[in-house]
Chain A
Amino acid sequence: MILANSIKSFGSYLILMRRVLSRPQRWSVFFRQTLHEVYQLGMSSIPIVLLISFFIGAVICIQMKLNVESPWMPKFVVGYATREILLLEFSSSIMCLILSGKVGSNITSEIGTMRVTQQIDALEIMGVNSANFLILPKITALVSMMPILVTFSITAGIAGAYAIGEFTGIITAEDLTTGLQHEFRQWYIWCSIIKSFAFAFIITSVASFYGYRVTGGSIEVGQASTNAVVSCSVLILFSDIVLTQLLMQ
């Protein structure tokens, strides 16, 4: 039963995506909507990304100092480990998990409310491809903004590590810089960015799918938002394994 429902839902998702990923009916309206979504989904997420990344960067630095430091370990290893964690997992995967809560629930509740208040029916009656009109700008906006958010997250995390070193004296700026630069591989940044594209697509498309098929009222919209966030999180974690395996080998 669960398997049958999952297959049915996946089929519905593919059908919806076929409608979403078609040519916009009016490019000018599409660009206007995309710009609106860039602000709504991307720009408005910058403060929370900076805040969380700054503190997590600081905490990772403290944890590394406390748990990794030993007399036979070079001092720069704290900076090295902080960089690797931020670059490889935190700023792409964990940040996208956090954003799936903020952005995903926002998208599902917005589209779900439009569905239950017949605004989507109104679009369909007018002859507008509502799936394309509502969802494609969101996907385009978040997919194009996510690499920027990831870059901001890495920068803020490193700034947090420097700040905690400066305020507590657990590591000098020179040691941290040496660690951050030690055996730096540019490919890791590209890995983060590639993963963020995939996660941004998952967040927007899955959250939109849950919102688009809501029936009922406000309780169902709330349930759909919760389900969307859970599904996005599971899918991000699962695809993280696949992408990490593919990209890091």
Chain B
Amino acid sequence: MIEVISVCKEFNGQQVLKDITATFQNGKANLIIGQSGAGKTVLLKCIVGLFTPEEGKVLYDGRDISAMGKKETLKLRQEIGMLFQNSALFDSMSVLENVMFPLDMFSAMSYNERRERARFCLDRVGLIEAQYKNPDELSGGMQKRAAIARAIALEPKYLFCDEPNSGLDPQTSLKIDELIHDITKDFDITTIVNTHDMNSVMGIGDHVLFLSGGRLEWEGNKENILSSNNETLNNFLFSSDLVKKVKEMGAK
């Protein structure tokens, strides 16, 4: 479980996150949604420790990330898997080497065990046939899947996904969403997904946070999001004609 308590973050005097408090349960896909510039990525980076908030704290199963020593931080890092917006695969390595990399750095396994673990992760994301390819030979969706395989290689307790569907077609997006959802359930991990894709919200949104202007505007899940009375959320949700029509059809 991850708890974010009264987190504030500013850049050059401009406040980007304003007093955010939220709890992310394990075994659930927690989605942070909002318009571009709402502070989603900044919040995610504060949670993973890439940014240090000016105020507030982030607790990982009760452990305050800002109060951790070097060793404890290193241990926590090994419990974290992250999927970046552009996959961030190491382009000097093959797909298999990318997945083996965290194991090479931190596991005590033998070479064959590391290789087998990496192959298992690639198989889990359906990418075993591409293990010897370089990242630039893969499609966008395959790169995301390879990045997920790398993220789960060390059996993380926490998985973070920054815009996992950006640049992907709806079908591939759906597959990536299903994969994230299945991995969250199967490994009982705390997953936080940063997105503005409504398909993801309706598909895997066990717990949804809506950010607007750096504030936590609404909190709920995929079942109650469409019936919300929050005006800002509704403006965000129903800015698309398609969603508007779906809502009208639902009402009928």
Contact = CB atoms under 8 A, between A and B. Distances in A.
A126 B78 contact: yes
B88 A127 contact: no
Given A118-B85, A119-B88, A122-B82, A29 B104 contact: yes
B90 to A, nearest CB: 6
Interface string A202-238: 0000000000000000000000000000000000000
B53 to A, nearest CB: 17
A213 B92 CA distance: 20
B77 A126 contact: yes
A29 B106 CA distance: 11
A1 interface: no
B88 A126 contact: no
Nearest to B90: A119
A25 interface: yes
Contacts of A4: none
B213 interface: no
A118 B88 contact: yes
A121 B88 contact: yes
B120 interface: no
Given A124-B50, A125-B48, A125-B50, A118 B84 contact: yes
17 contacts: A26-B105, A28-B104, A29-B104, A114-B90, A117-B91, A118-B84, A119-B88, A119-B89, A119-B90, A121-B84, A124-B50, A124-B77, A125-B82, A125-B160, A126-B102, A127-B74, A127-B105
Given A118-B84, A118-B86, 7 more contacts: A26-B105, A117-B86, A121-B50, A122-B84, A125-B82, A126-B80, A126-B102
Contacts of B76: 127
Contacts, number: 49
A123 to B, nearest CB: 8
A117 to B, nearest CB: 6
A128 interface: yes
The main secondary structure of chain A at its interface with chain B is helix
Interface residues of B, number: 23
Interface in A88-133: 114, 117-119, 121-122, 124-128
Contacts of B105: 25-26, 29, 126-128
A117 B89 CA distance: 9
B117 to A, nearest CB: 15
A28 B48 CA distance: 28
Contacts of B82: 122, 125
A89 to B, nearest CB: 36
Contacts of B86: 117-118
Contacts of B101: 126
Contacts of B90: 114, 119, 122
Contact of B104 (A26, A117, A118): A26
A127 B91 CA distance: 19
Interface string A112-156: 001001110110111110000000000000000000000000000
Contacts of A28: 104
Q: Identify the 3 closest CB pairs spanning chains A and B, nearest first.
A: A127-B77, A118-B88, A122-B88
